[in-house]
């Protein structure tokens, strides 16, 4: 018994060939904390250097829209699609530097740990696991049906609660068309607190 435990506790240093083989397979150690650290630094940089200008820009766009709603032409569906695309582009454009900063932080955290390497073995599909028959059995097994029924139950439960609250507040929602815009967030907060 002691001999077996002693045999299990022994470790041997990996040979150079084993290390090279594992690196070629893509089995390399990666620190998860490095990516979290890079994301945190990127978010701090965004908050300090970019957030104020981005929020000011988005606020200015929304202020222009709300100050002159008659300038928006919505005669047909093409006008609505054009207006939506323009609005999304104008609001989304200031966020591009933020997304690029986050992307660069993620790539830097990976590249600083290891040189980039394409490993086709990792992305190659395992043809033994791709089978219509096995997939069919997995979906319609007892576990698959139980998961499906749980999902349906959750969806119905949430749907019934929301339908009850919205139906009870139906007149309030209709009355919001005549509300001042400043009163709408308070109304939504009241309805949300009744939901919770």
Query: Quick one: tokens of 18?
Result: 């084993």
Domain boundary assignment for the chain: 11-124, 128-196
In whole angstroms, what is the distance from residue 58 CA to residue 55 CA?
A: 5
Assign residue 114 a region (left: φ > 0; alpha: ψ between -120 and 50; beta: otherwise).
Answer: beta
CA-wise closest residue to 192 among 172, 165, 152: 165
Whole-number Å distance between alpha carbons of 156 and 61:
39
74-124: pLDDT as tens digits: 788 888 888 888 888 988 888 899 999 999 999 999 888 887 777 777 777
Q: What is the pLDDT of residues 104-117, one digit of tens each?
A: 999 999 888 887 77
Q: Can you tell me the distance from the alpha carbon of 169 to that of 163, in angstroms, rounded to the nearest whole number?
A: 10
9-47 confidence digits (pLDDT tens)? 567 787 888 877 777 777 777 888 988 999 999 999 988
Who contacts 109 (Cβ-Cβ below 8 Å, separation ≥6)? 34, 35, 37, 38, 39
Distances (CA, A) of 14 to 18, 27, 31, 42, 119: 6, 14, 21, 37, 21
| 81 neighbors 87 (Cβ within 8 angstroms) | no
- What's this model's pTM, rounded to 2 decimal places? 0.51
């Amino acid at each position: 018994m002691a001999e077996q435990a002693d045999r299990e506790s022994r470790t041997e240093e990996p040979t150079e060939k084993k290390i090279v083989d594992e690196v070629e397979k893509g089995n390399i150690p990666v620190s998860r904390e490095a990516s979290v650290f890079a994301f945190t630094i990127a978010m701090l940089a965004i908050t300090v250097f970019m957030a104020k200008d981005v929020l000011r820009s988005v606020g200015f766009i929304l202020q222009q829209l709300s100050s002159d709603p008659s300038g928006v032409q919505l005669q047909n569906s093409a006008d609505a699609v054009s207006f939506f695309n323009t609005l999304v582009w104008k609001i989304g454009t200031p966020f591009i530097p933020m997304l690029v900063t986050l992307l660069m932080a993620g790539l830097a955290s990976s590249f600083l740990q290891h040189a980039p390497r394409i490993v086709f073995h990792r992305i190659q599909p395992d043809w033994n696991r791709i089978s219509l028959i096995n997939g069919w059995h997995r979906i319609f097994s007892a576990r698959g049906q139980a998961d499906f029924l749980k999902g349906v139950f959750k969806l119905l439960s949430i749907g019934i609660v929301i339908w009850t609250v919205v139906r009870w507040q139906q007149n309030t929602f209709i009355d919001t068309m005549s509300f001042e815009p400043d009163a709408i967030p308070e109304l939504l907060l009241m309805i949300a607190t009744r939901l919770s």
